[in-house]
Amino acid sequence: MQFTLKNINHFVHRYFLPLLLLVHVIAFFFPALGQGIREVHLGKFIWFDGSSLEITLPVLMLSFLLFNAGVGIKPNELKNLIQNPIALFVGLLANLTVPILFALCLLPFTKYWHNPIEIQNLLVGLALIGSMPIAGSSTAWSQNSNGNLTLSLGLVVFSTILSPFTTPLALHSFGFMTTGDYSEDLHEIAQMGVGAFLSFSVVLPSLLGILTHFLLGEKRVEEIKPCLKIINSINLLLLIYSNASIALPMAFAKPDWDFLIMVLLITISLCFIAFGTGWLIAKMLKVSNAERTSLMFGLGMNNNGTGLVLSSLTMADHPLVMIPVIFYNLIQQIVAGLIDTNMNKLEEDSAQNQNS
């Protein structure tokens, strides 16, 4: 059984990028199932700040990714993170500042674009991307690529815990770069509470996963880890499909091609810069390959699901602001798949060299 699970894990890991691309194609042509997944409601969670969360199937799927990451942490990694938290601190700082600096560098060039309204929509979209905490799915990618799960989970949880301070700060920063209604809307969003979503879908399952790890013990966790990896991969693909089934039809319902191409190029640039910043930080700090993996996925992937929710609630009169968020949400998964595939090849080449 273990041998079979190992083979299945190897197959899924090796061909995850083609599977990821296939999921997006299916979501574009056959979105009904993914949209149906998002319609499954299981109750409501209310947080002390007054914010509430409809508990849907995608929320539970995201929570499972964080729970799985908590189960998969290693005690020695946790000890090392506590003793040497600099990678965590620098990663959290970069997650906040990189999108803001990117927008500031982009701002002088926006005056050459023919449509100022489209620029405002772009900047607000970038604000919603850059102000969100690190995506919970980054832990699944780190787990699949043998990253440092403790660092990966730490980046997600602490960026979430700090979000009541960092999210308003980022949104206000972008608010000063925009004008008119767009600026006012960003400042208003900065005042909204998102504690219920972040607490239920990120913090709580992470802590439960860590507790489960210590209750089961190291030996039992190692026995069930192959099974958890398979479930994790299937869960991640279904979650991506569900998000894409909403995002892709919306993005191309009434396409404005020059705007779409401009947004696509800019979001691709931001995504590669974010992932590259993780690699650069790892090189500067001279951390292990596992920590480098976690930093790259952590800084490259933001919780854009929350950004889409906020934009739909507060900026319904400006629907184009969702396009950059939609594109980044899709691009970050594809870039993560490319990095994962490349790391997988490097590991196989290294194993072959050691055996020869």
Q: How far apart are CA 82 and CA 269, in angstroms?
A: 33
Mean pLDDT of 131-143: 82
Taken in order 278, 280, 286, 290, is the CA torsion positive or negative? Answer: positive
All structural domains of the chain with their residue ranges: 2-348
Q: What is the pLDDT of residues 217-238, one digit of tens each?
A: 888 888 887 788 788 888 888 8
CATH architecture designation of domain 2-348: Up-down Bundle (1.20)
Is pLDDT above 90 for 43? no
What's the token pair of residue 6?
């190992």
Alpha helices, DSSP H only, in 252-303? 257-285, 289-300
Identity of the highest mean pLDDT range in 5-19, 139-153, 273-287: 273-287
pTM check: above 0.85: no
d(CA 124, CA 322): 9
Q: What is the pLDDT of residue 285?
A: 94
Sort 283 into a burial class: Cβ within 10 Å, 0-12 / 13-18 / 19+: exposed
**pLDDT for res 1:** 44
> Residue 53 above 70 pLDDT?
no
The SS3 of residue 48 is coil
What are the tens digits of pLDDT across the range 239-286? 878 877 876 787 677 778 899 999 999 999 999 999 999 999 999 999
Q: What is the pLDDT of residue 146?
A: 83
Given a contact cutoff of 8 angstroms between Cβ atoms, the answer to whether 269 and 277 are in contact is no
Residues 344 and 12 sit within 8 Å (Cβ to Cβ): no
Q: For the residues 328-339, what does the mean pLDDT come to? A: 86
- The answer, yes or no, to whether residue 178 has pLDDT greater than 60, is yes
Q: Average model confidence (pLDDT) for the chain?
A: 82
| Residue where the block lists tokens 């999921």 | 23
Residue with the bigger pLDDT between 160 and 36: it is 36
8 Å CB contact between 131 and 307: yes
- Distance (Å, whole) CA 135 – CA 248: 19
Query: By the 8 A CB rule, do 128 and 309 touch?
Result: no
